[in-house]
Copies of this chain bind each other. A is one copy, B any other.
Amino acid sequence: MTLLEGRRLAEKMLVALREEIVSSKKKVRLAVVVVGSDPVVEKFIAQKQKAARAVGIDVRIYPFEETVTTNDLRKRIAKIVHEKKNTGVIIQLPLPPHINKQYILNSVVHKKDVDVLSARALGNWIVGKSPVMPPVAGAVKTLLDEYQISYRDKYIVVMGAGGLVGRPVALWLLQEGVTFGIITKAHPHSERLLKEADIIISGVGKPGLITGALTREGVVVIDAGTSESAGKLVGDVDFDSVAPKTSFITPVPGGIGPLTVAVLLKNLWTLAKTRDTY
């Protein structure tokens, strides 16, 4: 069993990114729109901020009250998006339930959409015309490539179809022409499908969802689930029972999480460089 050390890979990526950005002398700024306050979300933002500053990317946080309306938020984001100094804009998720999430995400112009969550950026990406890919999908690809795990000829199972993990990962596999399955709920077939998998990519947000009894020997497991348990970040995978059966597995924390931040910052830099042509 080999640990897929996302954190180490992320650090390597950030060092290379820093070199590029510093030597270019370009000013790059990430705008982060945050609605309301939540200690877990703030921890995520702090991670992005720390990594960004370390590579020479400026970060500007735009905080909004929890009670802001969709229309107000959209208008104010429009200004943030059109501010020249903001090279890229992210809308920190989750948004409060009264906000029309997709309408807000669509207000980020594709040239600045580092998360690839607007309709426009998603559409461009699906047809192969985007220079960047959604950060979690990018992190999964980076990890598989780095550890030379071939996946195009494998059967991959994606757990969950959420907007941040399952959907972008499935869209990526669809573009790559990979044979894959996506399991969205408990199902008479789920266990057999999961047991068939060569690679499992999970992003449900349910601790202990995947146990050793559900996987086969030699499987590759990538845990992109995020939940909180007793103040600690936990994934979907019951590491202790699953790890001994795997050929490769991500730790949580230290796996997909830090790599996703690194891909996000790399996306920002790519969009900064391709601004005039994309």
User: Lowest 8 CB-CB distances: which A-B pairs, in order?
Assistant: A123-B123, A181-B181, A119-B123, A155-B189, A119-B127, A122-B123, A177-B184, A102-B127
A127 touches B155 (CB 8 A): no
Interface string of A91-134 (1 = CB under 8 A from B): 00000000000100110000000000011111110111100000
Quick check: is A179 within 8 A (CB to CB) of the other chain? yes
B174 touches A179 (CB 8 A): no
CB distance from A113 to the nearest CB of B (A): 11
**Among residues 126 to 179 in chain A, which have CB atoms less than 8 Å away from a CB atom of chain B?**
126-129, 153, 155, 161, 167, 170-171, 174, 177-179
Quick check: is A50 within 8 A (CB to CB) of the other chain? no
Quick check: is A53 within 8 A (CB to CB) of the other chain? no
CB-CB under 8 A from A129, the residues of chain B are 102, 106, 119
Q: A174-B161, A189-B196 are in contact. Are A102 and B123 (CB under 8 A)?
A: no
A126 touches B127 (CB 8 A): no
Q: Interface size (A, Cβ < 8 Å)?
A: 38
A192 touches B196 (CB 8 A): yes
Measured in the bound complex, the distance between the Cα atoms of B123 and A119 in whole Å is 4
CB-CB under 8 A from A198, the residues of chain B are 189
Interface string of A220-235 (1 = CB under 8 A from B): 0000000000000000
CB-CB under 8 A from A177, the residues of chain B are 161, 184-185
Q: List 14 A-B contacts (CB under 8 A).
A: A119-B123, A119-B124, A121-B123, A122-B122, A122-B127, A123-B123, A126-B171, A161-B177, A167-B174, A177-B185, A179-B181, A179-B182, A179-B183, A179-B185
**Chain A residues within 8 Å of B, Cβ to Cβ:** 102, 105-106, 118-124, 126-129, 153, 155, 161, 167, 170-171, 174, 177-185, 187-190, 192-193, 196, 198
A126 partner, pick from B122, B178, B179, B192, beta carbons under 8 A: B122
CB distance from A34 to the nearest CB of B (A): 22
CB-CB under 8 A from A106, the residues of chain B are 127, 129
CB distance from A55 to the nearest CB of B (A): 29
CB distance from A202 to the nearest CB of B (A): 14
B182 touches A180 (CB 8 A): yes
CB-CB under 8 A from A171, the residues of chain B are 126, 171, 174
Measured in the bound complex, the distance between the Cα atoms of B189 and A236 in whole Å is 25
CB-CB under 8 A from A179, the residues of chain B are 181-185, 187, 189-190, 193
